[in-house]
Amino acid sequence: MAVSENSIDDVVRAAGVVVLRDQESFPEVLIVHRPHRSDWSLPKGKVDPGEHLLETAVRECAEETGLSVALRSPLPRQSYVALGRPKTVDYWVGVIREDEGFAPDEEIDEIRWVSVDRAAGILTYAHDRDLITEAIAIPETTPLVILRHAKAMKRSDFTGTIDAERPLSGKGRSQAKALVPLLDAYGITSVHTSDSTRCTETVKRFAKTLEGRVELESSLSEEAHHENPKRAAKTIRRIADLEEPAVICSHRPVMPTIMATLAESLGLPVDDPRLDPKMSPGEFLVIHRAFEDGGIRAVAIERHDAPLGDGENHDSLA
């Protein structure tokens, strides 16, 4: 279900992270002190206008703690009443990418790394303690993003003779731009795409932020998939086996093969509703994979609606 920050039920939306680190063989969690509330909690904050929840989680952690994080497995959504208004907070496990140094201010005046056991005695709210219990039970994961290309120019408006060269529409270009911080939120480092123009244009702006190349996967184009779906499935299995954060961009007609292949590779039911191949332009699925004992399994799956690129914030979590 899609939910907007300005939804009619007037729910306050917020997002945050549970940041863990290993310290001498036992886990520590990062907690923050808010002087205006006189409480200890986890890094989190409200969604800014036009901001996606993924961006909020990363931004708030950086502002409050000085830590740049990449998102990993989603955690249970927290719902409660704050200052007389219903509030929901979406959380992810966060892994540290960079430490820019903590700078205390009126919002957060102290941060602490504490053992998980000690955190239970310091944190003010029971739901924060529950989140930490959930987080430490999750194995280390690596995200795989399945992305349908952004909105393309209509076939009826395209004057070219080769459909694979049909570009993104103006709306699609806005979506591609809005996808950049969302893919970066997961720390994606490997970009794979159909070689059709509408797919390469969807991911090229993000790829430039990596200063890396886009891996063109010709087997994932509509035309190549139609001729040889088994070759497309082989490509998906190869990418799914990569132990690095990756994104795959392809087309609606290819999605049933992609989802069926991932279900088989990850030991999921072929009719798992989270792997529904019906995806709108710019919509994406995130599979958090654990690499254990020579095998791979899906630890968590989430779906996000296409970024609108028009100042609204829509999200969908599963």
Asked if residue 291 and residue 160 are part of one domain, the reply reads yes
Q: Among 136, 170, 196, which residue terminates a domain?
A: 136
* Tens-place pLDDT, residues 28-53: 999 999 999 999 999 999 999 999 99
Mark out the alpha helices in 167-217 (DSSP H runs).
Answer: 170-185, 197-210
Count how many Cα atoms sit within 13 Å of the Cα of residue 115 in the half-sphere of its side chain. 5
CATH code for the domain of 171: 3.40.50.1240
d(CA 235, CA 231): 6
pLDDT digits (tens), the chain, 318 positions: 333 444 435 899 999 999 999 866 789 999 999 999 999 999 999 999 999 999 999 999 999 999 999 999 999 999 988 888 999 999 999 999 999 999 999 999 999 999 999 999 999 999 999 999 999 999 999 999 999 999 999 999 999 999 999 999 999 999 999 999 999 999 999 999 999 999 999 999 999 999 878 999 999 999 999 999 999 999 999 999 999 999 999 999 999 999 999 999 999 998 999 999 999 999 999 999 999 988 999 999 999 999 964 444 444 444
> Phi/psi at 11 (nearest 5 deg)?
-75, 135
Asked if residue 299 and residue 158 are part of one domain, the reply reads yes
* Tens-place pLDDT, residues 122-161: 999 999 999 999 999 999 999 999 999 999 999 999 999 9
Domain count within the chain: 2
Asked if residue 101 and residue 159 are part of one domain, the reply reads no
CATH code for the domain of 77: 3.90.79.10
Q: Which amino acid is at 264?
A: E
Asked if residue 181 and residue 84 are part of one domain, the reply reads no
Strand 12-23 versus strand 85-99 pairing type? parallel
- Are the C-beta atoms of residues 260 and 159 closer than 8 Å to each other? no
pTM score, whole prediction: 0.92
The domain of 35 spans: 3-136
State the helix-helix crossing angle for 229-240 and 255-266, rounded to 10 degrees: 50
Q: Among 88, 118, 136, which residue terminates a domain?
A: 136
